[in-house]
Amino acid sequence: MRPRFDADLIARYGGEGPRYTSYPTALQFDDAFDARAWKRALGESNRLPIPADLSIYVHVPFCFSPCFYCGCNRVITRSPFAGQEFLNDLEREIDLVAPNIDDDREVRQVHLGGGTPTFLQPMQIEQLIRMLKARFRFASDAEIGLEADPRSLEPEDLPQLRRIGFNRLSLGIQDLDPDVQRAVNRVHDLARIASIFGAARAVGIDSISVDLIYGLPLQTTEAFARTVEDILNELRPDRISLFNYAHMPHRFKAQQRIKGEDLPTPTVKLALFRNTLSRLLDAGYEFIGMDHFALPDDDLARAHRDGTMTRNFQGYSTHGGLDLLAFGPSAIGQVGDAFAQNHRGLPDWQADVRAGRLPIARGLVRTTDDRLRAEVISTIMCTGEVRYADFEQHYEFRFRRYFADALARLEPLVDDGLIEWVEDGFRATAAGLLFLRAVAMAFDAYLQPAGDSSGPRRFSRII
Ligand SMILES: C[S@@+](CC[C@H](N)C(=O)[O-])C[C@H]1O[C@@H](n2cnc3c(N)ncnc32)[C@H](O)[C@@H]1O
Ligand code: SF4
């Protein structure tokens, strides 16, 4: 179904909301959950009748210079030693975790994120993958992906990356307009990105994704339309993420360098979103959910169509049901019902791994209620549709009775045309597809009581 833009609904439902890369969200993590609890959870995950296969996330925290809009956990440095020192520490962390995981569990997915993984030299990235392969068994068709900043990836690096096993690439573009790029301290041109694309395609990288952001300083509808045209005509990436710029200068210091008067007005911002949405749909991209688009023959679009897509800490994914091991500062892992987050700060993370301690800062163990809500929320975020019977089969409960409060919270959304009741369930309308987070929020037991909007922003805006 093609999502429909409705300005009135955006005014009412486009406010803040969790991105639901997990439920409960990381805000609920508690520092009472410690390294011992994580170790116990890792051990228990081996003892299930069929232990889950594995996904691995590595957070490489470094960047060469700060992009002013950035809300990621990163450390700005030009030190030539930072990368190698990090790899040494990372090896210590992997050595603390790997003995807790049975050898026969296969790694089906690896993702290097950050910060900027391409801060590392290709040789160092190879070392990192070798470190993992020495301790975990990789499936022969494992999906291995890398987030890359076009300024720190050379087209000549692609053959080596492919040989190491990378078959997914995600490039941060954000905007191609020179004025916008200067205003956010991130200057790179299309020619360079096109040559990276060419090299990636030539070596057979299966899926290339790009990140764009709307709402950046000095963006205009005309100039952003040119960015979108260039990306469609010159690159035609398999996937596009169209992020809504989350301006939270109280949380991210670099954002204080963005002048408030340079930000597009809410009207312009909406137009940026509306125009890009319709252009991407017209160009043949499928709307996957939230801020994601994919070409119809991309794995993610296929998984979306056949209902197998899932949502995890990396966003939408084709791989469900995996246990997630996460390495590096701030990285979040999940095995079964346990979540654990590493220390956010590089020094704290380093201190723990050097002392031989798992660097866990906080986490939680989901209750049965959490798990049930997590499944409902993930189903909403991935399919926009809930059938009560699907849940009643797995949990002994009556959906309507158990979730009476949540369903009552959905009534205004039905009245406003975001969702509609269907036999034994509900589903998002074309207009509601853009507000899946607002629908999911009705099932979130941890949200502040309605009406309490005091305090600083905690979540990004839905639109
Ligand atoms: C870790 S970065 C990507 C990798 C690499 N460091 C780069 O910049 O190319 C992840 C993505 O988050 C998005 N992002 C970062 N800060 C954001 C913000 N404040 N609002 C919306 N999106 C943001 C950007 O699109 C960025 O490409
Ligand atoms: S957007 Fe990427 S390169 Fe820029 S500061 Fe953030 S993580 Fe680093």
* Residues 338-388: tens digit of each pLDDT: 999 999 999 999 999 999 999 999 999 999 999 999 999 999 999 999 999
Choose the residue to mutate in 78, 116, 151, 174 for probing ligand 2, maximizing ligand atoms within 8 Å of C-beta.
Answer: 116
Query: Is-contact 340 333, C-beta < 8 A?
Result: yes
> What domains appear along the chain, each with residue ranges and CATH number?
1-24+367-463 (1.10.10.920), 28-325 (3.80.30.20)
Residue 292: pLDDT over 90: yes
User: Given this model, what pLDDT does residue 225 score?
Assistant: 98
Q: Which of 400, 374, 343 is nearest to 18 (CA)?
A: 374
Q: Distance (Å, rounded) from C-alpha 106 to C-alpha 9?
A: 45
Q: Which residues pair with 241 in a beta bridge?
A: 211, 292
Q: Which residues contact 360 (CB under 8 A, 6 or more apart)?
A: 33, 34, 35, 37, 38, 340, 341, 342, 343
pLDDT at 460: 72
The predicted structure's pLDDT at residue 314? 84
Which of 243, 290, 313, 459 for a ligand 1 pocket mutation test, highest count of atoms within 8 Å of Cβ? 243
Atom of ligand 1 minimally distant from the CA of 149 = 9
Indicate whether residue 117 lines ligand 1 (CB < 6 A): no
DSSP-H helix ranges across 207-335: 221-230, 266-282, 299-306
Average pLDDT over residues 129-146: 97
Distance (angstroms) between ligand 1 centre and the Cα of 74 equals 11
Burial class (CB in 10 A: 0-12, 13-18, 19+), 115: buried
- Phi and psi dihedrals of 461, rounded to 5? -75, 145
Q: Write out pLDDT tens, residues 154-184.
A: 999 999 999 999 999 999 999 999 999 999 9
Reply yes or no on whether the pLDDT at 451 is more than 80: no
10 Å CB burial of residue 213 (0-12, 13-18, 19+) is buried
CA 447 – CA 298 distance, rounded (Å): 35
62: pLDDT strictly greater than 80: yes
Q: With bands split at pLDDT 50, 70 and 90, how would you rate the model's confidence at 458?
A: low
Q: Is 147 in the pocket of ligand 2 (CB under 6 A)?
A: no
The answer to whether 45 touches 323, Cβ cutoff 8 Å, is: yes
Nearest CA to ligand 1 atom 3: 172
419-422, strands of its sheet edge to edge: 385-387, 425-428, 419-422
The finding on whether 63 has its CB within 6 A of some atom of ligand 2 is: yes
Ligand 2 centroid – CA 62 distance (Å): 9
The pLDDT of residue 196 is: 98
- Rounded to an integer, what distance in angstroms lies between the CA atom of residue 247 and that of residue 260? 10
Ligand 2 pocket check: which of 59, 60, 62, 63 to mutate, most ligand atoms within 8 Å of Cβ? 63
Length of the chain: 463
Instruction: Tell me the mean pLDDT in the region 177-203.
Output: 97
Give exposure, 119-150, as e/b (b: 16+ Cβ within 10 Å). Answer: bbebeebbbbbebbeebbebeeebbbbbbbbb
The band of 456, judged by pLDDT with boundaries at 50, 70 and 90, is: low
In DSSP terms, which residues pair with 360 in a beta bridge?
Answer: 342
Q: Is 222 exposed, middle or buried (0-12, 13-18, 19+ CB in 10 A)?
A: exposed
Distance 49 CA to ligand 2 centre (A): 41
Mean pLDDT over each residue of the chain, to the nearest integer: 95
β-pairing, 168-174 vs 207-214, is parallel
% of the chain surpassing 70 pLDDT: 97
Partner residues linked to 325 by β-bridges: 56
What angle (nearest 5°) sits at the alpha carbon of residue 136, between those of residues 133 and 137? 90
Q: Which ligand is nearest to the CA of 114?
A: 1
> Probe ligand 1: pick from 19, 70, 292, 459, max atoms within 8 Å of CB?
70
Q: Which amino acid appears at position 228 of this protein? A: V
Tokens for 382?
């991935």
Residue 163 CA to residue 140 CA, distance in Å, equals 13
Q: Please report which confidence band the pLDDT of residue 452 belongs to, taking 50, 70 and 90 as the band edges.
A: very low
What three-state secondary structure class fits 132?
helix
The protein residue with its alpha carbon nearest to ligand 2, atom 6, reads 70
Atom number in ligand 2 closest to CA 66: 5
Task: Give me the pLDDT at residue 449, please.
Answer: 62
Burial of 165 by CB count in 10 Å (0-12 exposed, 13-18 middle, 19+ buried)? Answer: middle
Q: Is 263 helix (H, G, I), strand (E, B) or coil?
A: coil
Is there an atom of ligand 2 within 6 Å of 70 CB? yes
Beta bridge partners of 60: 114
CA distance 81 to 63: 13
Distance separating alpha carbons of residues 96 and 92, to the nearest angstrom: 6
Nearest CA to ligand 2 atom 7: 115
pLDDT at 453: 47
Going by CA atoms, what residue is nearest to atom 1 of ligand 2? 70
